[in-house]
């Protein structure tokens, strides 16, 4: 049985990086003209050589997104259930070595948070926890899904990577989507950013989308944390991963996020900065490379940036988010995982979307379609 690891191991980070940085304007023009693009075209589109073509890329990305998704924007909201974590990650406020009060929401507290999210209009919730097997393991996820399933049309999870049989247990309980970001595909530096805990196992994480595909999950989310390593090289590996997964688990849908490292209590400075123009280039490059993939942008980005990228390829966004457990109602003052940039309410986001002639979509999924 195939897995992405065998493909990944054939690549060398330095060689990939060199190949991206040596792309020319001819490569970019060829990529823009073609009907079907391959991974070499993606390299050209994310390369420095593509920077002068940003306007052209933005127009093409807009047209392709309109053709496939129309003028719609899916809305979702994260619900942080726990900040307990057994891992050390250099970039995260919940890291084990960060001395903060730890907290995991119980059933009653979760229902209070649910009530608040429902009053905002949400039908799609993203459940987030740290990685602590004893407190937030599969048993906890089973209980949470049973509790909240009646309240939401779409449930996503961003928690520790699980085994295939564990995902298979959660799917009938209402789990639709799993986000599992590799953080970085730079194998050696991955170890530096994840020195302790289960997350330090690079390949266990890399293999997770394969386990999800085999388990038959509806949608898988990929991405890297932009700022840890060279974003172009990391994005190449994300696109390579996406391409493999689409060909292997073709019934599954995919979504990509581009989180840029944000400040947090005791935080890490980005090693590699990415400016707004470069993020726009990356969003457009993904869309031109892949017309089907969902592209998602969170409240990490500023109000102005988010207003401006609506038309460039993004298909889903969060609004009104809190990144601390109980952050909506139960314990608004607990420590955040990272600082939010766009603090507008969901209603303000809806108005902004409508002003741009876009339709906000609260509910994109019905269990009956399964
Ligand atoms: S990124 Fe996730 S695994 Fe790492 S410290 Fe934060 S919550 Fe824990």
Query: 224-283, pLDDT tens digit by residue?
Result: 999 999 999 999 999 999 999 999 999 999 999 999 987 655 567 788 889 999 999 999
Percent of the chain scoring above 70 in pLDDT: 97
Convert the pLDDT of each residue in 15-52 to its tens digit: 999 999 999 999 999 999 999 999 999 999 999 999 99
Instruction: Tell me the CA–centroid distance for residue 255 and ligand 1, in Å.
Output: 21
Q: Which residues pair with 318 in a beta bridge?
A: 76
SS (H, E, C) 219-231: EEEEEECECCCCH
Instruction: Tell me the CA–centroid distance for residue 94 and ligand 1, in Å.
Output: 6
Number of helices followed by number of strands (H, E) in the chain: 15, 9
* DSSP one-letter string for 246-260: HHHSTTSEEEEE-PB
Ligand 1, CB within 6 Å, residue ranges = 85, 87, 89, 92, 94-95, 130-131, 199
Q: Quick check: 119 pLDDT over 80?
A: yes
Q: Ligand 1, closest atom to CA 91?
A: 1
Closest CA to 268 of 215, 322, 192: 192
**pLDDT of 23:** 98
Residue 312 CB coordination number (10 Å): 21
Convert the pLDDT of each residue in 127-155 to its tens digit: 999 999 899 999 999 999 999 999 999 99
| Mean pLDDT across 111-125 | 96
Distance CA 94, CA 195 (A): 14
Q: Quick check: 367 pLDDT over 60?
A: no
Structure tokens given for 213: 């595909």
Q: Ligand 1, closest atom to CA 98?
A: 5
| Mean pLDDT across 310-328 | 93
Residue 299 CB coordination number (10 Å): 24
Q: What is the pTM of this model?
A: 0.95
Atom 2 in ligand 1: residue holding the nearest Cα: 130
Instruction: Tell me the CA–centroid distance for residue 38 and ligand 1, in Å.
Output: 33
3-state DSSP assignment of residue 300:
coil
**pLDDT of 363:** 84
**pLDDT of 337:** 79
Instruction: Tell me the CA–centroid distance for residue 187 and ligand 1, in Å.
Output: 18
- pLDDT bin (cut points 50, 70, 90) of residue 370 is very low
């Amino acid at each position: 049985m195939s897995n992405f690891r065998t493909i990944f191991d054939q690549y060398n980070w330095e060689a990939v990086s060199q190949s991206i940085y040596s792309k020319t304007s001819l490569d970019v023009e060829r990529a823009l003209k073609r009907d079907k693009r391959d991974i070499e075209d993606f390299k050209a589109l994310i390369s420095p050589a593509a920077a002068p073509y940003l306007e052209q890329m933005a127009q093409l990305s807009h047209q392709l997104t309109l053709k496939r998704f129309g003028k719609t924007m899916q809305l979702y909201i994260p619900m942080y259930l726990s900040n307990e974590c057994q891992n050390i990650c250099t970039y995260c406020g919940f890291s084990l070595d960060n001395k903060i009060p730890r907290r995991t929401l119980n059933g009653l507290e979760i229902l209070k948070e649910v009530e608040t999210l429902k009053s905002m209009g949400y039908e799609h919730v993203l459940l987030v926890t740290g990685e602590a097997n004893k407190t937030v393991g599969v048993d906890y996820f089973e209980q949470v899904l049973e509790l909240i399933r009646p309240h939401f049309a779409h449930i996503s999870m961003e928690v520790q990577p699980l085994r295939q049989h564990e995902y298979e247990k959660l799917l009938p309980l209402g789990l639709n989507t799993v986000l599992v970001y590799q953080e970085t595909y730079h194998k050696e530096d991955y170890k530096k950013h994840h020195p302790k805990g289960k997350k330090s196992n690079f390949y266990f994480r890399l293999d997770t989308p394969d386990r999800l595909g085999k388990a038959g999950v509806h949608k898988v989310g990929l991405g890297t944390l932009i700022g840890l390593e060279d974003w172009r090289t990391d994005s190449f590996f994300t696109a390579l991963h996406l391409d493999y997964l689409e060909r292997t688990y073709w019934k599954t849908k995919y979504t990509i996020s581009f989180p840029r490292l944000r400040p947090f209590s005791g935080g890490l400075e980005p090693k590699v900065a990415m400016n707004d123009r470069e993020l726009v280039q990356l969003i457009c490059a993904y869309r031109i490379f892949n017309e089907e993939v969902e592209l998602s942008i969170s409240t990490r980005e500023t109000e102005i940036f988010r207003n401006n990228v609506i038309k460039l390829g993004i298909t889903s966004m969060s609004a009104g988010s809190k990144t601390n457990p109980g952050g909506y109602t139960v314990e608004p003052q607990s420590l955040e995982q990272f600082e939010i940039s766009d603090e507008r309410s969901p209603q303000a986001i809806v108005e902004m979307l409508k002003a741009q002639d876009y339709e906000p979509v609260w509910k994109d999924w019905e269990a009956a379609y399964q």
